[in-house]
Amino acid sequence: MERVLVIHGPNLNLLGSRDPGIYGNRTLAELDEEIAGWGRDLGVDVETFQSNHEGEILDRIQRADHDGVIINAGALTHYSFSLHDAIEAISPPVVEVHISNVRAREHWRRRSVIAAACVASIYGRGARSYHDALRHLVHRSRWPAETRRYGDDADDQIGDLRLPDGEGPFPVAVIIHGGFWADVWQRDLMDAVAIDISRRGWATWNIEYRRVGSGGGWPGTQADVAAAIDAIPTLSDRLDPQRVIVVGHSAGGQLALWSAGRHPDSSAVVPMGVVALAPITDLTQAHRLGLDDGAVERYLRRSPDKDGARYRESSPVSLLPLGVPQVIVHGDLDDRVPVQMSRAYAGEAADAGDEVRYHEFEGSGHFEVIDPGHIVWSKIADEIDQFLS
């Protein structure tokens, strides 16, 4: 991935003055400068283009002279089937972006007619949506993934499957992203982790699931995670469903640990271990701490005083012993999920008889543990590799 085209659609020339409470205070020129800087950091040359005219945008897309395209189509997103057809007709991958959370706005904004032609849709992250779209295109070029469905929801009951070279059968690392179960955060957060683990000889299944704001929350989110894991035998005959680990970050760490503690039927895939990175292990405590301004209550749809059983059934600490080896990792400077939560969980898991290895990294925060370029990742990767032996 060397050259990326960024297309801004109608009215994006008004950035900085149009509804700054929704779109921010950056002007389009300032945003373009920032995007160019992100491109340089990722080793990518970026060209930006803006037009209020559908035909000009179609003409620019049809030139297909870049390795990848990022498009914020503005209102064209919701009705331009000609734009969908133009994107579908070119070979470079296209990522749809939006500054605002379009799923939380007017009903007509929630429908995208171009999403099906794009390889990903990233929204609701402010200007960072462009950064994350660039990062996704770069990672996609480094190790392309096959997107597979494990349920009927074509947007959220899907995952990215990466297979190493060879016939297999390969051990499988199921990867679960975090983001406090909110719909604006998606599996692109774990692209780099998935690629690094695949390079180590694992097949990786980087899953999406229904989240709060996209039809998820209790119990659907947990049901999706269980279904995605149990779908492993159907994905490829080059996978070994007897050698599966689950790697989760933050809220994904909660889901990873929960998946090992659930009580599956005989057809379920049982993980042989869990790697939980900065996990939320006690939902009652997380609610009391007000993590992400009430994320737990939004996820479980109740306060613990209204339904304490729902909290216990979803909290890994209440499911102990899980009966599988666990690696718990946390940075001592984490300002999203308190490190004390992992310290307490690791102690209680060991007391309950589980095999637990706990690593606390000095000077690390919430996201260093999912950055393969950071020094802490080498220890995490070593722990993952130990499951092969």
| Token pair in block for residue 165 | 């070279």
- Report yes or no: 273 and 327 within 8 Å, Cβ to Cβ: yes
- DSSP structural state of residue 125: S
Query: Would you please indicate which residues are annotated as catalytic (active-site) residues?
Result: 23, 98
| Token pair in block for residue 366 | 């919430």
Q: Which amino acid is at 241?
A: P
Q: 27-39: buried (b, 16+ CB within 10 Å) or exposed (e) per residue?
A: eeeebbeebbebb
Torsions phi, psi for 379 (to 5 deg): -70, -40
Rounded Cα–Cα distance for residues 360 and 356 (Å): 13
- Report yes or no: 340 and 303 within 8 Å, Cβ to Cβ: no
Rounded Cα–Cα distance for residues 356 and 378 (Å): 19
Rounded Cα–Cα distance for residues 221 and 314 (Å): 11
Rounded Cα–Cα distance for residues 253 and 142 (Å): 26
SS3 88: helix
Asked whether the bond before 219 is cis by omega within 30 degrees of 0, the reply is yes
Residue that the structure tokens 């149009």 belong to: 18
Rounded Cα–Cα distance for residues 365 and 367 (Å): 6
Rounded Cα–Cα distance for residues 71 and 2 (Å): 17
Rounded Cα–Cα distance for residues 285 and 147 (Å): 36
- DSSP structural state of residue 156: T
- Report yes or no: 349 and 325 within 8 Å, Cβ to Cβ: no
